[in-house]
Structure 1
Amino acid sequence: MSSSTSDYHHGNLRQSLLEASMQLLDNEGLDALSLRRLAEQVGVSRQAPYHHFKDKQALLAAIGEEGFALLNQMLARVTDDPSLSLNERLHQAVLGYLNFALDHTALYRLMFGQTLWSAEHAHADTDEFQRYAKDCFRQYVQLFDLLKAAGDLPSSENTLRLAQLLWAAMHGLAHLASDGLFVKREDLAEIARYMIARFHTA
């Protein structure tokens, strides 16, 4: 029995397909992804991927969820680290986000693109992905909540709005840096610190 057939019967095909998808995405971009291409890559029948993903949109949602799982894990390591000050946790969470976006450009653009977020492409799999994505955003809200409780932010500050502004700034920086416009990667750490300082003086 081939390894791919063995994987399929032991329930590992879904993960194998996701791993192959991430590799294709990194190497060739979103247009290279198809269930047929993945079946060839993994070495299974053309119908086998449909046991796990009913269509390409379901596959893309699963890839996006994998991406947010990676981002969430990175953030959790920072936000839950008691050895770091709250300001340093926020700085590391910002810098980690930016580095993730630049290290996984095609994945990042899928995670935050219209393919997964627009109403035109929405279905049950996309809804589940979006709920997972929002868990990632909440970690920034929680950091601002902690800063507010510690007295590092005014008691009247709206932490949800602060997190939204921060996310918008990070997203813009990520795109500028990945496109090579105005922002150099080696400057991101300094930009992140400067940006966070502005939040404290706003």
Structure 2
Amino acid sequence: MASTQKNKVNPKDKVSYHHGDLYSSLLKIATKMLNEQGINSLSLRKIAENVGVSRTAAYHHFKDKNDLLCAIAAQGFNQWQKHAEKIFTDDSLSKEQQYRDFVYGYIHFATNNPNLYDLMFGRTIWKDHGSNETLRHAAFPSFDFQVKMTKHWQQMALLPSSESSLRLAQVIWGTLHGIAKLMIDGIYTDNSSVDEMCECAVNLFLSTAQSSSHS
């Protein structure tokens, strides 16, 4: 009985829906369960029960659990890209502040949504070709946008122009991903340490660009 209760979503949190938006309702509840209880809490049966529909109805929208996980992860990539675009198009910010906000924004997105972040970049859906078209159509453009930002910042002499935009974007992402995972996995729990690492990452790439321009 205790385990059944643990996987229940509060009735107040159930999503009302009309014909045509059951997909969104299922996805919203699934994301909430992932964030609060982890990936092991997810099953189409439990999600359908919490929304208030039959399991058969859920299977009309997601063919299996992997399909559901890919949809949740895709939503995460879309959410992050919207945040990155907001930073990138904010003309009130200097280019340096844009880059700094991008770095801090990435880390905060990851640490505020640890279960979602782990799903987005974990082996659960990427290993053994588990990703589907829905996920790839969200994940790849998200990284392409980061390459676009990197190229622009290189043109503004903010980042080293001597490096490939693609490789530099990958190195920056790898650096931020590493910091995020250190925090999510509990290696670092002091927020001030994470902020100092973020600032170090910002200064490292900016100083590299300045050194390159003076050489």
Q: Identify the residue that residue 137 of structure 1 maps to in structure 2.
A: 143
Q: Identify the residue that residue 68 of structure 2 maps to in structure 1.
A: 59
Q: Identify the residue that residue 8 of structure 2 maps to in structure 1.
A: none
Kept after mapping to 1: 8 A contact 2:71/2:134 = no
1:128 Cα offset (Å)? 3.0
Kept after mapping to 2: 8 A contact 1:90/1:143 = no
Kept after mapping to 1: 8 A contact 2:48/2:55 = yes
Kept after mapping to 2: 8 A contact 1:86/1:146 = no
Kept after mapping to 2: 8 A contact 1:78/1:89 = yes
Residue correspondences, number: 195
Structure 1 segments (4+ residues) deviating >4 Å: none
Q: Determine which of 179, 186, 203 is the counterpart of 1:173.
A: 179
Deviations 1:112-133 (A, max 9, x none): 01122123424xxx23312311
Q: Identify the residue that residue 206 of structure 2 maps to in structure 1.
A: 200
Q: Cα RMSD between the aligned structures?
A: 2.0
Matches within 5 A, 1:78-157: 78-122=87-131, 126-157=132-163
Q: Identify the residue that residue 41 of structure 2 maps to in structure 1.
A: 32
1:143 Cα offset (Å)? 2.1
TM-score, structure 2 normalization: 0.83
Deviations 1:11-32 (A, max 9, x none): 1111110111011101111011
Structure 1: gaps of 5 or more residues: none
| Equivalent residue letter for 1:110 | L
Kept after mapping to 2: 8 A contact 1:177/1:183 = yes
Matched-pair identity in %: 38
Kept after mapping to 2: 8 A contact 1:26/1:104 = yes
Kept after mapping to 2: 8 A contact 1:39/1:46 = yes
TM-score, structure 1 normalization: 0.88
